[in-house]
């Protein structure tokens, strides 16, 4: 990916996406994180412990793809910085990453239970949804495990005992995929309950 975008426009979209994540029930409080690629060498990522539902532009940290902070700020990037950077390094085709703790999908991730395709969207848009084995949050081991599963054309995955990761050309697209995955998990839950009756 060689394209470059206006950093202010990207920041505004990330703020909007952060607010939508909470409004749609995909996160609560300070869980989850988001980022977007600004150009080949720079990303914007939410700061550590920021409340995405009330995210402000100044809480987005410009980082080099080598992991260096590009502004003088007391804020630190998300603890999942390694994961974001490793995904961008491997996936030149994506421009944004969304990590949620959406409840239904996170429950299936915790159980390492595969999600079944239940409608055309889950079959053709989400495709086969990988489950990433557990590694501690913020570690390079987790970053590598996630990047190894998110190989093109995969755009969503479940992370055992952790939640959901989705990628897209834009933050809005990544959010839409995370929403679609949560809907798929909810339908799977209903099917699982009804099949037992």
3-state secondary structure of 154: coil
Cα separation of 64 and 38, whole Å?
Answer: 10
Q: Is the peptide bond before 153 cis (omega within 30 degrees of 0)?
A: yes
What is the number of other CB atoms lying within 10 angstroms of the CB of residue 96?
Answer: 26
Residue 33, strand partner residues: 99
Decide: 126 and 133 in contact? Cβ < 8 Å.
no
Cα separation of 170 and 179, whole Å?
Answer: 14
Decide: 57 and 73 in contact? Cβ < 8 Å.
no
Q: Which of 13, 20, 80, 182 is catalytic?
A: 80
80 is catalytic: yes
Decide: 138 and 146 in contact? Cβ < 8 Å.
no
Active site residues: 80
């Amino acid at each position: 990916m060689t394209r470059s975008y206006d950093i202010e426009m990207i920041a505004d979209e990330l703020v909007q996406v952060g607010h939508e994540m909470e409004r749609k029930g995909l996160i609560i409080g300070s869980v989850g994180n988001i980022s977007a690629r600004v150009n080949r060498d720079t990303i914007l990522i939410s700061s550590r412990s920021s409340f995405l539902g009330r995210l402000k532009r100044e809480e987005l940290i410009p980082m080099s793809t080598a992991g260096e902070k590009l502004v003088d700020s007391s804020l630190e990037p998300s603890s999942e910085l390694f994961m974001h950077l490793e995904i961008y390094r491997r996936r030149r085709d994506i421009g944004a990453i969304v990590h949620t703790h959406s409840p239904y999908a996170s429950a299936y991730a915790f159980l390492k239970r595969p999600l079944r395709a239940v409608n055309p969207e889950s079959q053709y848009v989400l495709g086969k949804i990988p489950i990433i084995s557990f590694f501690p949050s913020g570690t390079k081991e987790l970053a590598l495990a996630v990047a190894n599963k998110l190989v093109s054309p995969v755009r969503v995955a479940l992370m055992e005992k952790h939640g959901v990761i989705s990628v897209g050309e834009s933050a809005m697209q990544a959010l839409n995929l995370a929403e679609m995955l949560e809907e798929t998990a909810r339908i799977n839950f209903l099917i699982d309950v009804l099949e037992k009756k």
